[in-house]
């Protein structure tokens, strides 16, 4: 079926975004990116904002409504805690901040563990979950997703010089090899499609999986490309991403089923895509100017 004009534009945007993220075009500055206000209060390391934006300029006026946002603070560069300052920041914080600027609302970030984040959101404990969440049918049946804001493929992160396999299919054929990933993720689900569960080692966070790979405790880590690119960039002489693509996922913000915030968030996200501010924030965290590594965060 021929795609519509809107689908063609969206697909073209996904392709260009991934090309830039992968470093084909090296970004040396992000001066045009929307910056979070310099004066920010922190409580237990979490930024606390008042009401953002104004009723006059709002795409949809949420009238300073508090919006609770679930974050893991362990998913570089989406959300993380900088060791030097012990303050949380990342792509999710800046994008949600900008969304509330456009919707006249107050974001309230709450740290929680990934293992229970989706269920807590489904139960209404949070208004929205922001954590690079893959849009999946089984999740959509129990909650609601925003429009996609990013697309990423799954790939294998390995130690440089790895020659025992070049794909997940070849990995699966060798019964001695162990795969690492994060628990309760689509990455884990994909790993056990190819491997018996006893050959998949699940970690609480991706940094633990990365550390296990470096230590030789696992033979590969399956993860989203946008995250794997950062790990590879940290240690280009030690780690590499295999070129073989396993599957591709769209990412979206996740809401309780029937949430009245879905459509306002969609409108705000679309406006950020239209004026390219979403790309500018993304380039800030995946471009050449982003220098933080897993050694710099909690």
User: Tens digits of per-residue pLDDT, 128-161?
Assistant: 999 999 999 999 999 999 999 998 889 999 999 9
Antiparallel, parallel or unpaired: β 239-241 and 150-159:
antiparallel
Q: How far apart are CA 218 and CA 144, in angstroms?
A: 35
Q: Are 206 and 75 in contact (CB under 8 A)?
A: yes
- Work out the pLDDT band at 286, boundaries 50, 70, 90: confident
- For residue 243, give Cα distances in angstroms to 131, 159, 168, 224: 25, 13, 11, 13
The sign of the CA dihedral 54, 67, 204, 17 is negative
pLDDT at 91: 97
Any long-range contacts for 34-41 (C-beta under 8 Å, 24+ apart)?
34/94, 34/98, 34/277, 34/280, 34/281, 35/94, 36/93, 36/94, 36/97
pLDDT at 234: 79
Q: What percent of the chain has pLDDT over 70?
A: 87
pLDDT at 294: 82
Judge if pTM exceeds 0.95: no
Q: Which domains does the chain have, with CATH numbers?
A: 5-151+250-288 (3.40.190.10), 153-247 (3.40.190.10)
Check residues 283 and 167 and name the one with the higher pLDDT.
167
- Work out the pLDDT band at 18, boundaries 50, 70, 90: very low
- Work out the pLDDT band at 3, boundaries 50, 70, 90: very low
- Work out the pLDDT band at 182, boundaries 50, 70, 90: very high
pLDDT at 181 over 60: yes
Kindly give, in sequence order, each residue whose CB lies less than 8 Å from that of residue 169, ignoring residues fewer than 6 positions away: 194
Ranges assigned E (strand) in 230-279:
239-241, 247-256
pLDDT at 229: 84
pLDDT at 55 over 70: yes
111 alpha carbon, distance to own chain's centre: 15
Q: How many CB atoms lie within 10 A of CB 116?
A: 13
Q: What is the pLDDT of residues 88-127, one digit of tens each?
A: 999 999 999 999 999 999 999 999 999 999 999 999 999 9
Angle at the Cα of 5 (from 272 to 154), degrees rounded to 5?
Answer: 65
Average pLDDT for the chain = 87
């Amino acid at each position: 079926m021929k795609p519509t004009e809107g689908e063609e534009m969206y697909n073209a945007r996904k392709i260009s975004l991934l090309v830039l993220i992968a470093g084909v075009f090296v970004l040396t500055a992000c001066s045009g990116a929307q910056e979070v206000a310099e004066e920010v209060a922190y409580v237990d390391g979490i930024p606390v904002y008042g009401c953002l934006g104004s009723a006059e300029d709002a795409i949809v006026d949420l009238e300073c409504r508090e919006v609770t946002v679930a974050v893991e603070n362990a998913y570089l560069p989406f959300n993380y805690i900088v060791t030097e300052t012990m303050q949380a920041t990342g792509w999710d914080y800046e994008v949600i901040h900008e969304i509330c600027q456009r919707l006249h609302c107050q974001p309230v970030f709450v740290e929680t563990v990934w293992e229970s984040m989706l269920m807590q959101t489904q139960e209404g404990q949070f208004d929205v979950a922001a954590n690079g969440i893959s849009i999946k049918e089984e999740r959509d049946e129990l909650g609601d997703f925003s429009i996609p804001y990013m697309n990423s493929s799954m790939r294998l992160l390995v130690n440089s010089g790895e020659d025992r396999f070049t794909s997940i299919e070849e990995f699966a054929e060798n019964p001695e090899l162990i795969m690492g990933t994060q628990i309760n993720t689509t990455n884990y689900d994909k790993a056990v499609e190819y491997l018996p569960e006893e050959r998949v080692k699940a970690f609480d966070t991706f940094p633990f999986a990365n550390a296990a790979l470096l230590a030789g405790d696992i033979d590969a880590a399956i993860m989203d490309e946008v995250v794997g690119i950062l790990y590879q960039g940290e240690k280009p002489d030690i780690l590499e991403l295999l070129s073989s693509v396993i599957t591709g996922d769209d990412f979206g913000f996740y809401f309780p089923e029937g949430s009245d915030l879905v459509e306002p968030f969609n409108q705000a996200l679309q406006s950020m895509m239209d004026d390219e501010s979403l790309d500018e924030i993304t380039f800030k965290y995946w471009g050449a100017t982003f220098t933080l590594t897993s050694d710099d965060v909690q």
